[in-house]
Amino acid sequence: MNRLRKRMASLREDGKTALVIYLTQGDPTPEVSADIAVAAAEAGADVLELGVPFSDPNADGVVIQKAMERALAAGGGLQSSLETVRQIRSRGCEVPIVLFGYYNPIFIYGLERFAADAAAAGVDATLVVDLPLDELAELSGPLADKGLDVVPLVAPTSGADRIAQVREFEPPFVYYISMTGVTGGAFERATDLEGRVAEVREASGAPVAVGFGIKTPEDARRVAGFADGVVVGSAVVNTIEAAGADKAAAAVHDYVAGLRAAAP
């Protein structure tokens, strides 16, 4: 059982909600990304999602798109992301890490090579936003051979039969998109979340983390009342950009600590 599965099981036993924090690797620099990740973990993040910079992040809103542009310019990318994970682990941080991104860089890298290198670096799972469930097995197989998991995405438009396909992967959790559209939307647009999360949990047989649009401690508190996990991304990226490289880690620490206090 890897770090991610252990953490989710422990939280479930304690009746707590996982706080999942996303940041774009390489923004503002690869070195600072490691500092930010460790700071988020120290502030109470249960899971880190490390976004792999990609030139065509079409599932992401403008905030993360711009972060990926900055990251690519600073030398971020898939190999750099693996190095950032190694740096995080070398500093004694054992918070589970999910590599979050798009399939093209992984496919070009090579599936077996990627699985081996990700496991060696200290990755626990991947979430590939543009790899549909029907094709996810081609990645999940090599990952499973190295003890890594996949985290499937489920949308508001996903039907019960499609959600049930998730069961074959026995994921550590399912990422439920709170609304249609791209990352960073207004959370107020999300409707019937509690009922929908219960349906997804039942159909998939897995814990459900909710993301897209969660920005404030109040948003986190609301979702923590019924979900197994709360995912915060664009707001973290905004915090990093506003703080600048020198103060980004401290700013993220304070921001994550506020979320943690709201959703203990």
Please, is 162 exposed, middle or buried when counting C-beta atoms within 10 Å of its C-beta (0-12, 13-18, 19+)?
Answer: middle
In whole angstroms, what is the distance from residue 162 CA to residue 158 CA?
A: 6
Active site residues: 49, 60
CATH code that applies to domain 3-8+16-259: 3.20.20.70
pLDDT beyond 90 at 181: no
How crowded is residue 24: how many other Cβ atoms within 10 Å of its Cβ?
34
In this structure, the dihedral spanned by the alpha carbons of residues 248, 29, 96 and 65, taken in order and rounded to 10 degrees, is 90
Q: Per-residue confidence at 182, pLDDT binned at 50, 70, 90?
A: very low
Q: What is the pLDDT of residue 60?
A: 86
In whole angstroms, what is the distance from residue 160 CA to residue 163 CA?
A: 5
Comparing CA positions, the residue from 156, 172, 214, 185 lying closest to residue 22 is: 214
Helices first, then strands: H and E counts in the chain: 12, 9
Residue pLDDT, tens place only, 192-211: 799 999 999 999 999 999 99
Question: How confident is the model over 29-39, as a mean pLDDT?
Answer: 98
Question: How confident is the model over 102-127, as a mean pLDDT?
Answer: 98
In whole angstroms, what is the distance from residue 211 CA to residue 195 CA?
A: 15
Question: How confident is the model over 110-122, as a mean pLDDT?
Answer: 98
Q: Per-residue confidence at 141, pLDDT binned at 50, 70, 90?
A: very high
Contact 211, 161 (CB under 8 A): no
Contact 98, 121 (CB under 8 A): no
Q: What is the pTM of this model?
A: 0.94
Q: What is the pLDDT of residue 59?
A: 82
Q: What angle do CA 155, 156, 159 make, to 5 degrees?
A: 85
In whole angstroms, what is the distance from residue 133 CA to residue 135 CA?
A: 5
Residue pLDDT, tens place only, 213-258: 899 999 999 999 999 999 999 999 999 999 999 999 999 999 999 9
Question: How confident is the model over 2-25, as a mean pLDDT?
Answer: 97
Average pLDDT of the chain, as a whole number: 94
| Segment 188-196 long-range contacts (CB within 8 Å, at least 24 positions apart) | 188/213, 189/213, 193/223, 193/226, 193/227, 194/225, 194/226, 196/156
pLDDT beyond 60 at 187: no
